[in-house]
Amino acid sequence: MKEQLKKAEEKMQKSVSVLESELASVRAGRANPSILDKVQVDYYGTMTPINQMAGINVPDARTLIIQPWDASALKSIEKAILASDLGLNPNNDGKVIRLNFPPLTEERRKELAKSLNKLGEDGKVAIRSIRRDAIEKLKAMKKDGELTEDDVKDGEKEVQKLTDKYCKEMDAAVDKKQKEILEL
């Protein structure tokens, strides 16, 4: 039973980590290198993340500077950023690419805050699915004679505690990101 609980907890932790990385890639009006994590560049026929082929610096709150280690990749990186859904226009000066982050409008801030709620809800659905699977495994173990009825009840309580804990963590992460976006 302990092994089942441990597996469930690991999966729930992974779900929280996935949510946090998705939240980090949401543009909040500030320059943040992690928004480029999902942008892939066609580099000699291989799709490569920008952070593996260039240095990314944040000189000020509204600018990112991307300096490729291979100058021939500059055009490819620029093309990939334009093709992404970031909504940013790269400025290529022949050596580096500058990304300027315009301040978000109030309407866009509210839209982003709503989309964060959806991300959080999707994460909680994943955690509830993990809870359901764990409880089904405990019941299957009882059916096979490995656990008693009391063990299954205790296991269900433990799984519920884990579920509540990780749902709270997800809510806290979403709230933190919403505050970051809504503050001017």
Contact 93, 65 (CB under 8 A): no
Global pTM exceeds 0.95:
no
> Residue 29 has what pLDDT?
65
Contact 153, 84 (CB under 8 A): no
Task: Tell me the CATH class for 2-24+105-182.
Answer: mainly alpha
What percentage of the chain reaches a pLDDT higher than 90?
33
In the chain, CATH 3.30.1360.40 covers 33-100
Backbone angles phi, psi at 106, to 5 degrees: -60, -40
pLDDT in tens, 56-87: 998 887 888 999 998 888 989 988 888 887 77
pLDDT in tens, 133-157: 999 999 999 898 888 889 889 999 9
Distance CA 97, CA 64 (A): 8
CATH 3.30.1360.40 fits 33-100, yes or no: yes
In the chain, CATH 1.10.132.20 covers 2-24+105-182
Distance CA 177, CA 120 (A): 11
Identify which has the larger pLDDT, 131 or 85.
Answer: 131
